[in-house]
Amino acid sequence: MVAASPDQDVSMDLRRAMASLPPRQRAAVVLRYWEDLPITEVAQLLGCTEGTVKSQCAKALATLRGQVSVPVE
């Protein structure tokens, strides 16, 4: 059996952590950071205020940081 590389471990951890987020937080993070959309556009797409996008992203990132450990070289 071949051991997974540290990058693969982090990637799998991140996928699991993303899947555990509430749908609204996950959508905000994907649109804001993966799709690199501005906050105003994310708010329009999600039908909420810019403040809500910011708070949902902040909560999601805090959760992700707590669940995913990135090895430091």
Is the pLDDT assigned to residue 57 strictly greater than 70? yes
User: What is the pLDDT at residue 50?
Assistant: 99
Domain residues of the chain, as ranges?
7-67
CATH of domain 7-67: 1.10.10.10
Q: What is the largest CA-CA distance in the chain?
A: 49
pTM of the entire structure?
0.79
User: What is the pLDDT at residue 2?
Assistant: 46
Contacts of 40 (CB under 8 A, 6+ apart): 50
pLDDT for 4-52, tens place per residue?
Answer: 565 666 678 889 999 999 999 999 999 999 999 999 999 999 999 999 9
Specify the residue for token string 């430091």: 72
Is the pLDDT assigned to residue 70 strictly greater than 80? no
Residue 36: both structure tokens together: 């690199």
User: What is the pLDDT at residue 68?
Assistant: 81
Q: Are the C-beta atoms of residues 10 and 73 closer than 8 Å to each other?
A: no
